[in-house]
Amino acid sequence: MLKRKAWDVLTTWKNSRNRKALMLTGARQIGKTTLVREFAKNHYRHFAELNFLTDEHAAGIFAGSLDAETIIANLTAYLRTRLEPGSTLILLDEIQECPRARTAIKFLVEDGRFDYIETGSLLGVRVNDVPSYPVGFEEHHRMFPMDFEEFCWANGVQSDTIDMLREHFTDRIPVNDAVHATMNRLFNVYMVVGGLPEIVQRYVDTHDIAQVSDLQHDILDLYRLDIAKYAETSDRTKIRAIFDAIPSQLDDHNRRFVLASINRNARQNRYANSFLWLSDAGVALPCYNVQSPVAPLAANEKRSLLKLFMGDTGLLCSAAMGNAQFALLQGDLEVNLGSITENIVAQELTAQGFTPHYFDSKRYGEVDFVVQSGSRIIPVEVKSGNDWTRHKALDNMLRVEVWNLGQAYVLCKGNIAQNGPVTYLPLYMAMFLRPERLPEAMPFTVDLSALHASPPTGAGQNASERM
C-alpha cells in the first residue's frame, strides 16, 4: 500500500484514551477505505466493514431502534463475523448514504465495546439528511490527494533525501544542481499524474502516461455522475457547467472565475450554492479574494471574487491539456503552464493545512496567494516561466508598512535564494510550507490571590452606613 501521512492520524486516534469515532472525509478516490483496511490489518484482531454505497441492504441494520444493543445484534447477524470487544474495528464506509448510521454513532461510542471509523466522500453535500448529529462523539480528519512528499515516497525517494531537502529549506541553502534538476523533473511528473492513489500506483507500476490519462478520464466521469446523482435537481446544470468550466477559467490571464462566461445573465448569489457543492464534495478548491492582506483573512474575504481550482491537478491536466502532458514532462516552455502550476500550489498549500486566498487590487496589483500562519500573513507568488525575479505586485504589497508583511515566498523553477524579505523556493519545496500549529498544551493561570485578600477599611459597608 502507498504510504500516507493520514496513517499517523489513525495511530494517534487509536492510542487516545477517550476514543471517539473517527470521521474521515474527502473526495472520491483519495484512498480513505484502502487506508482503513490496511490499518485494521496491522492494529486489530478483528475487522468488519459496511459499505452503504455498494450494499443496498446495509442500511437496514439501522432501520429500527438505534440503541447500541439492537444495532450490535443486527451487525453481528448481518456480517456473520466475530466482533470481539476491545479488539475490533468497524468501518462504516460512505456513511452519507445512511444518515441514521451517523446518528447511531453516539450510542455506539457510548457503548464502548468496539472502535468505529466512518468515511464520507460526499458528506458535506448531504448535511441536511442526518436526523441528529453525534456532537461530541466524532473526531474529524479531512484527507486530500497525495501531496508531493507522499508522491516522492511512492516513487522511491528515500526519507534521507527528503530530510536533506528540508534542511536546505530551513537553512535557505541552495540544493545541489543535479538533485535540484531531478526534483524539478519529478515535480513535473506529479503535476501530470496528480495525487489520486490508484492513478499514482498505476504510474509507479507502468510509467505509462496513456494509462494514467485513461484512469483520470474515468474519475472525471465519476465526478460528473456524482453531480447528476447527488446535487439538487435545480442546481445540477449549474454545478456541471461550473465544473466543466474550471480548466478554461484557470487558463484566463487572471484565473478569476467569471460567471458570465457560462451564462450571460448569471448572478453570483444564485450560483453560491453550486460553488459550495463542489467544495464540499472535495472536487474543487475555491480561493477567495481578500480586501486587504491582514489577519484574519477569512474576515476579509470578498466572496463574489474567486478562483476555482481543481482538487487534483492531474485531473486538471487530463481535462485541459489533451496530449500536452508529454510536452510538460519534457519541460517544454512553449506549453502554457501558468494555470497548471498555480493549481498544484493551491493543492499543496491546502494539503499542508492552509486555506489559500489571493489578493487583487487596482492600486497594488495581483498576488497569486496569501496564506495565514498564526497571526502572520504571508504572500506567495507562483512563477512557471524564467522571469521569477520580476514580481511588481508582490513588491508593492511588501512596501505597505501598515500591513507589516515582512516575508514572502516566490515558488519557481529556480534554486533557493534570498533577496531581502523575498525567499525564492523551488516549486517542489511547497511541501515544506506549513502553518504555525497551536502547542499541544497551553497552561495559563490567573492569579486570584487579590480576590481573597481582606477588603480595605469601609469596603464592606453598604450605602446607608456610609451616609
In the chain, % of residues over pLDDT 70: 89
Sign of the C-alpha dihedral computed for residues 237, 142, 344 and 420 taken in this order? positive
Identify which has the larger pLDDT, 338 or 451: 451
* CATH number of 135's domain: 3.40.50.300
Q: Please, are residues 285 and 347 in contact by the beta-carbon 8 Å criterion?
A: yes
- pLDDT value of position 455: 63
Statement to judge: residues 64 and 157 lie in one domain = no
Half-sphere exposure of 207 (CA within 13 A, CB side): 3
Statement to judge: residues 15 and 99 lie in one domain = yes
pLDDT at 269 over 70: no
| Residue partners of 346: CB distance under 8 A and separation at least 6 | 285, 287, 307, 309, 356, 369
Last residue of a domain, one of 142, 170, 189: 142
For the chain, how far is it from start to end, CA to CA, in angstroms?
Answer: 83
- pLDDT value of position 467: 42
Q: Please, are residues 320 and 336 in contact by the beta-carbon 8 Å criterion?
A: no
How large is the greatest C-alpha to C-alpha distance in the chain, in angstroms? 95
Host domain of residue 278: 148-432
pLDDT at 449 over 90: no
* Displacement of CA 207 from its chain's centroid (Å): 27
Dist. CA 193–CA 313, nearest whole Å: 8
Identify which has the larger pLDDT, 229 or 347: 347
Residue 325 has which C-alpha cell?
Answer: 502532458
Give the residue-averaged pLDDT of 447-453. 86
pLDDT at 194 over 60: yes
- pLDDT value of position 329: 78
Segment (H or E) for 299 = none
- pLDDT value of position 291: 92
Write the DSSP assignment of 333-352 as a string of letters.
Answer: TTS--HHHHHHHHHHHHHHT
Residue 438: inside a domain, yes or no?
Answer: no
Residue 156: inside a domain, yes or no?
Answer: yes
Statement to judge: residues 212 and 137 lie in one domain = no
Statement to judge: residues 135 and 160 lie in one domain = no
Residue 458: inside a domain, yes or no?
Answer: no
Residue 82 burial by Cβ neighbours in a 10 Å radius (0-12, 13-18, 19+) = exposed
pLDDT at 324 over 90: no
| Residue partners of 325: CB distance under 8 A and separation at least 6 | 192, 209, 213, 317, 318
- pLDDT value of position 57: 93
Rounded to whole angstroms, what are the CA distances from 145 to 253, 279, 344, 425?
27, 14, 11, 23
Reported as a pLDDT band with limits 50, 70 and 90, residue 457 is low
DSSP state of 263: -
Statement to judge: residues 274 and 175 lie in one domain = yes
Residue 121: inside a domain, yes or no?
Answer: yes
Give the residue-averaged pLDDT of 38-54. 95
Amino acid at 237: T
- pLDDT value of position 138: 94
What are the start-end ranges of the H helices in 96-196?
99-111, 148-154, 159-171, 177-193
Statement to judge: residues 161 and 126 lie in one domain = no
Dist. CA 439–CA 338, nearest whole Å: 37
Statement to judge: residues 205 and 129 lie in one domain = no
Residue 1 has which C-alpha cell?
Answer: 500500500
Statement to judge: residues 59 and 105 lie in one domain = yes
Q: Please, are residues 151 and 312 in contact by the beta-carbon 8 Å criterion?
A: no
pLDDT at 431 over 90: yes
pLDDT tens string 156-188: 999 999 999 999 999 999 999 999 999 999 999
Statement to judge: residues 218 and 353 lie in one domain = yes
- pLDDT value of position 463: 47
Q: Please, are residues 357 and 370 in contact by the beta-carbon 8 Å criterion?
A: yes
What are the start-end ranges of the H helices in 388-462?
392-399, 449-452
- pLDDT value of position 309: 95
Using left for φ > 0, alpha for ψ between -120 and 50, and beta otherwise, residue 382 falls in beta
Reported as a pLDDT band with limits 50, 70 and 90, residue 437 is confident
Last residue of a domain, one of 74, 107, 142: 142
- pLDDT value of position 466: 47
- pLDDT value of position 335: 54
pLDDT at 374 over 50: yes
Residue 444: inside a domain, yes or no?
Answer: no
Statement to judge: residues 240 and 362 lie in one domain = yes
Q: Please, are residues 435 and 371 in contact by the beta-carbon 8 Å criterion?
A: yes
**31-45, 193-207, 451-465 — which is least confidently predicted?**
451-465
Residue 361: inside a domain, yes or no?
Answer: yes
Statement to judge: residues 29 and 167 lie in one domain = no
Domain count, the chain: 2
Residue 449: inside a domain, yes or no?
Answer: no
Segment (H or E) for 50 = strand 46-51
pLDDT tens string 337-369: 778 999 999 999 999 999 999 999 999 999 999
CA neighbor of 240 nearest in space, from 251, 249, 231: 231
- pLDDT value of position 130: 66
Give the residue-averaged pLDDT of 325-344. 73
Statement to judge: residues 34 and 104 lie in one domain = yes
**101-115, 197-211, 226-240 — which is least confidently predicted?**
226-240
pLDDT tens string 129-151: 666 778 889 999 999 999 999 99
Identify which has the larger pLDDT, 418 or 325: 418
Give the residue-averaged pLDDT of 332-341. 68
Residue 453: inside a domain, yes or no?
Answer: no
CB atoms inside a 10 Å sphere around CB 323: 9
Rounded to whole angstroms, what are the CA distances from 108 to 16, 66, 111, 174, 182?
17, 9, 5, 54, 50
Identify which has the larger pLDDT, 437 or 187: 187
Last residue of a domain, one of 142, 162, 187: 142
